[in-house]
A and B are shown apart, each in its own frame.
Chain A
Amino acid sequence: MLKIKDNQDAWQSGMAKNITFIVTKDCQLACKYCYLVGKNVKERMSFDVAKTFIDYVLDHETDPDFAYESVVWDFIGGEPFLEIGLIDKICDYIKTELFRRNHHWFNSYRFSFSTNGINYHEKAVQDFIKKNRNHISIGITIDGTEKKHDLNRVYKITEKGSYKDVVKNIPLWLEQFPGGGTKVTISSADIPYIKESVLHLYSLGIHEVNINVVFEDVWQEGDDLRFEEQLMQLADSIIDGGFYQDYACSFFSEHIGKPMDPKHDNQNWCGAGKMLSVDAAGNLYPCTRFAQYSLRDKEAWIIGNIKDGIDKNRLRPFLTLDRTTQSPQKCIECEVASGCAWCQGENFDAAQTHTVFERATAICKMHKARVRANNYYWNKLYRKLELEDLREQYEANKREVKPEIC
């Protein structure tokens, strides 16, 4: 079976321009926590739109907005693999043009996918993976146990759970992407299943579980305490079961829960504005979260289109954003501020006015609960390692999960 080469040369971590094709707004699933409120079967990208967009991007190689060493061509939906034929054509065109133009991204690009995994095994998808094996990364979303997964990730119309159709493709995916991580989303109803879900994902062979609570204001009274309890149980299981050596869960990080300096720790969390997204209509966005199908209460923040290019004035608010300017005083003064994330799109959608400078704080209690459980985790783990005289060895080899910063 094919092993996907981990080609680090083609991926200049942290110095890559992220360019996203919203190839379709359709998906087989209707996940209950999905922020894409405007999914539909009509808005499918044409190759002509994609081609014009690629030409625009590559024509601007020297523009500061595109002066990155590397590029990640990201394909999202809906479910991107519903459009695997189009994606294959787009990727062929990108490769051909990078070569023809002798573009500096020619050997420094990656095609990236986040998929629900349902048609991962199909021939067209597998052929595409083989064809692009040195330049591809794929994440399959599986939420945990069958019960937890099927609580939210259900087929549209039938509302049948999708777990069985996804889990059957996990072995193939892990064989091709041995370091593959999955992304788990936690909403209020999912809290009781966190521990068993993470352990279940470990048992499937997934070593990296990136997990986050939804940014939307969905939290109920007492959720923070239930969340804290689940995370402490998870901490016990990871430590007592020895999983901490080879597995990672992004909930636990030594870098979270510290106060932040308003001057020196003032960067924005989110990459909106540095990224670029295009939809089927050829409209450009600072991030997909600003496209209309992602927004509940606001009109789309369109920064241009593939014919006229980017209106740079409309990018200026994003590129001047910093942490303290958009944060309320309670966040600036927070004793456990580090690691508390936000989504610029959700901030915009939830804001009182048309602004990206109003930080939504719906996850405040959940972050604090996470910090308490996180402190418990590290205190317990380090005490155990010290008693076993293994701390130095652990420090030298520990696996870290970088926070998901989009």
Chain B
Amino acid sequence: MLQYLVILLDDTSVAYCHADNPLKKRNLIPVETLKKGIIFGMKQNLMIQYVFPDYELPKEYVDVLESIDNIKIYPINHKSHVLIEEDNVSDVEVADFIPEKVESKNLVLRLKFSEILAKKDEISKLFGNDFRLNICITDVEKFTDKDIIKYQELLKYWNAILLNLYKESKTPQINILTDRMLLDKMHNCDAGVNNITLAPNGKFYLCPAFYYDEKTTVFNQLNHHKPSSDNSVGDLENGLNIPNPELLKLDHAPLCRNCDAYQCRRCIWLNRKLTWDNNTPSHQQCIMSHIERNASRDLLNKIREIGEFMPEIDIKEISYLDPFDVRKEF
């Protein structure tokens, strides 16, 4: 069921997930389109998430933006452009470098895998603060089996730091390590299922990455029928029209519905890019998510040596990193 409407306020709105935003030319959403988008969200009972660019929006937009309860996703160091409510715990700052100061309660840190390895200590300094850290690896497709040990060792290293924080009675939230400890079912991106994106052109997309691809004609060969760069799934005039919507859902993903790497993003954009199917994860995504899952299991066990912690959560020991390798056992 749809719960969120993501509105890209500009073509250059900040990328906040796996896909980089290749669009460099400003293209602000027309204010009438914005108003219609908000009305759409209100009528569908959707929480609106605005995604901001790195420049200040014209004054006439401010009242429109604030005409409805919302969550703001914005580039770090540009808070002044965004009119943040000081007590809003849901707003999200996005950085593609390690920031010195974080002002919101949520930080998305977007880095390449090699950058994360190289800056593991700097990143770990963000752990003990009063915000949730979402680490987003932006080159998942380049992850190889040779990187497995590197990633396992990195998470082991961070686990030791996190354990000390727990010993200090802190409750750090690092998506790739602590989310799985709290989850008893899949908690994924669910683009097209629980959230949908409205682009400045007034059309809906499964997520911003599909809009970027349309604008740059990536995946030209993968569109519905005859080659076309149209990735949209409806527009404000005619409403949503997601073809094969069931094929975005967990119960139609044979690998994922049997999986317990509950913290996995299950990024359908990456799925489509790497496996050519929206609902089939790549080897890379599965491997990385299982390394994280296993590290979460280790962390959970270590925390339980200190005292009782999430007794209802059970993360079993498993012998594989890619569920594809054991698919016949499902």
**Is B327 within 8 A of A355, CB to CB?**
no
Interface mask (B242-281 → A, CB under 8 Å = 1, otherwise 0)? 0110010000101100000000000000001011111111
Distance between B64 CB and nearest chain A CB, rounded to angstroms: 34
> In whole angstroms, how far apart are the Cα atoms of A356 and B247 in the complex?
10
A301 within 8 A of B: yes
Task: Please pick, from A320, A321, A357, the residue contacting B324 in the complex, using a CB distance under 8 A.
Answer: A320
Distance between A167 CB and nearest chain B CB, rounded to angstroms: 40
A85 within 8 A of B: no
Q: Known contacts A316-B275, A353-B244, A355-B247: does B282 contact A297 (CB below 8 Å)?
A: no
B188 within 8 A of A: no
- Identity of the chain B residue whose Cβ is nearest the Cβ of A322 in the assembled complex: B254
Task: Please pick, from A313, A320, A351, the residue contacting B282 in the complex, using a CB distance under 8 A.
Answer: A313
Q: Known contacts A353-B224, A354-B223: does B247 contact A314 (CB below 8 Å)?
A: no
**Is B255 within 8 A of A320, CB to CB?**
yes
Main secondary structure of the interface of A (DSSP, over half): loop
Q: Known contacts A313-B283, A322-B254, A355-B244: does B275 contact A297 (CB below 8 Å)?
A: no
Task: Please pick, from A313, A319, A322, A357, the residue contacting B279 in the complex, using a CB distance under 8 A.
Answer: A357
**Is A320 within 8 A of B274, CB to CB?**
no
List residues of B (222-250) whose CB comes within 8 Å of A's CBs.
Answer: 222-227, 243-244, 247
**Is B324 within 8 A of A297, CB to CB?**
no
> In whole angstroms, how far apart are the Cα atoms of A241 and B186 in the complex?
61
A358 within 8 A of B: yes
- Identity of the chain B residue whose Cβ is nearest the Cβ of A357 in the assembled complex: B247
**Is A299 within 8 A of B222, CB to CB?**
yes
Distance between A29 CB and nearest chain B CB, rounded to angstroms: 27
**Is A317 within 8 A of B275, CB to CB?**
yes
For A351, what are the chain B residues with a Cβ–Cβ distance below 8 Å? 244
> In whole angstroms, how far apart are the Cα atoms of A88 and B252 in the complex?
45
> In whole angstroms, how far apart are the Cα atoms of A317 and B294 in the complex?
25
For A356, what are the chain B residues with a Cβ–Cβ distance below 8 Å? 277
For A319, what are the chain B residues with a Cβ–Cβ distance below 8 Å? 324, 327
Q: Known contacts A297-B225, A297-B226: does B254 contact A320 (CB below 8 Å)?
A: yes
> In whole angstroms, how far apart are the Cα atoms of A316 and B279 in the complex?
10
**Is A354 within 8 A of B280, CB to CB?**
no
For B324, what are the chain A residues with a Cβ–Cβ distance below 8 Å? 316, 319-320
For A338, what are the chain B residues with a Cβ–Cβ distance below 8 Å? none
> In whole angstroms, how far apart are the Cα atoms of A312 and B252 in the complex?
21
Interface mask (B38-80 → A, CB under 8 Å = 1, otherwise 0)? 0000000000000000000000000000000000000000000
**Is B254 within 8 A of A325, CB to CB?**
yes
Interface mask (B283-313 → A, CB under 8 Å = 1, otherwise 0)? 1100000000000000000000000000000
**Is B275 within 8 A of A313, CB to CB?**
yes
**Is B276 within 8 A of A299, CB to CB?**
no
**Is A317 within 8 A of B252, CB to CB?**
no
For B124, what are the chain A residues with a Cβ–Cβ distance below 8 Å? none
**Is B222 within 8 A of A317, CB to CB?**
no
> In whole angstroms, how far apart are the Cα atoms of A357 and B243 in the complex?
13
Interface mask (A322-363 → B, CB under 8 Å = 1, otherwise 0)? 100100000000000000000000000001111111100000
A51 within 8 A of B: no
Pick from A297, A299, A312, A321 the residue with the most CB of B within 10 Å.
A299
> In whole angstroms, how far apart are the Cα atoms of A72 and B278 in the complex?
32
Q: Known contacts A325-B252, A351-B244, A358-B244: does B280 contact A320 (CB below 8 Å)?
A: yes
**Is A353 within 8 A of B327, CB to CB?**
no
List residues of B (190-243) whose CB comes within 8 Å of A's CBs.
Answer: 221-227, 243
- Identity of the chain B residue whose Cβ is nearest the Cβ of A321 in the assembled complex: B254
Distance between B59 CB and nearest chain A CB, rounded to angstroms: 42
**Is A317 within 8 A of B276, CB to CB?**
yes
**Is A299 within 8 A of B254, CB to CB?**
no
Distance between A47 CB and nearest chain B CB, rounded to angstroms: 29
A183 within 8 A of B: no
**Is A316 within 8 A of B224, CB to CB?**
no
For B278, what are the chain A residues with a Cβ–Cβ distance below 8 Å? 353-355
> In whole angstroms, how far apart are the Cα atoms of A358 and B279 in the complex?
12
**Is B247 within 8 A of A358, CB to CB?**
yes
For A353, what are the chain B residues with a Cβ–Cβ distance below 8 Å? 224, 243-244, 247, 278
Pick from A297, A317, A319, A352 the residue with the most CB of B within 10 Å.
A317
Task: Please pick, from B224, B276, B279, B284, the residue contacting A352 in the complex, using a CB distance under 8 A.
Answer: B224
Distance between A270 CB and nearest chain B CB, rounded to angstroms: 15
> In whole angstroms, how far apart are the Cα atoms of A48 and B274 in the complex?
29
Distance between A65 CB and nearest chain B CB, rounded to angstroms: 12
- Identity of the chain B residue whose Cβ is nearest the Cβ of A299 in the assembled complex: B221
Pick from B221, B276, B281, B283 the residue with the most CB of A within 10 Å.
B276
For A321, what are the chain B residues with a Cβ–Cβ distance below 8 Å? 254
For A320, what are the chain B residues with a Cβ–Cβ distance below 8 Å? 254-255, 280, 324, 327
A121 within 8 A of B: no
For B327, what are the chain A residues with a Cβ–Cβ distance below 8 Å? 319-320
For A322, what are the chain B residues with a Cβ–Cβ distance below 8 Å? 254
Distance between A297 CB and nearest chain B CB, rounded to angstroms: 4
Pick from B225, B272, B283 the residue with the most CB of A within 10 Å.
B225
> In whole angstroms, how far apart are the Cα atoms of A316 and B222 in the complex?
16
Distance between B239 CB and nearest chain A CB, rounded to angstroms: 17
For B243, what are the chain A residues with a Cβ–Cβ distance below 8 Å? 352-353
> In whole angstroms, how far apart are the Cα atoms of A358 and B252 in the complex?
11
> In whole angstroms, how far apart are the Cα atoms of A356 and B324 in the complex?
17
A298 within 8 A of B: yes
Interface mask (A303-321 → B, CB under 8 Å = 1, otherwise 0)? 0000000001110110111
Query: Which A residues form the contact surface with B (CB < 8 A)?
Result: 297-299, 301, 312-314, 316-317, 319-322, 325, 351-358
Query: Which B residues form the contact surface with A (CB < 8 A)?
Result: 221-227, 243-244, 247, 252, 254-255, 272, 274-284, 324, 327
Between-chain CB contacts (< 8 Å), 11 pairs: A313-B274, A314-B274, A317-B277, A320-B324, A352-B244, A354-B224, A355-B244, A355-B277, A355-B278, A358-B244, A358-B247
Closest 7 CB pairs of A and B: A317-B277, A352-B243, A320-B254, A299-B221, A317-B280, A297-B225, A313-B274
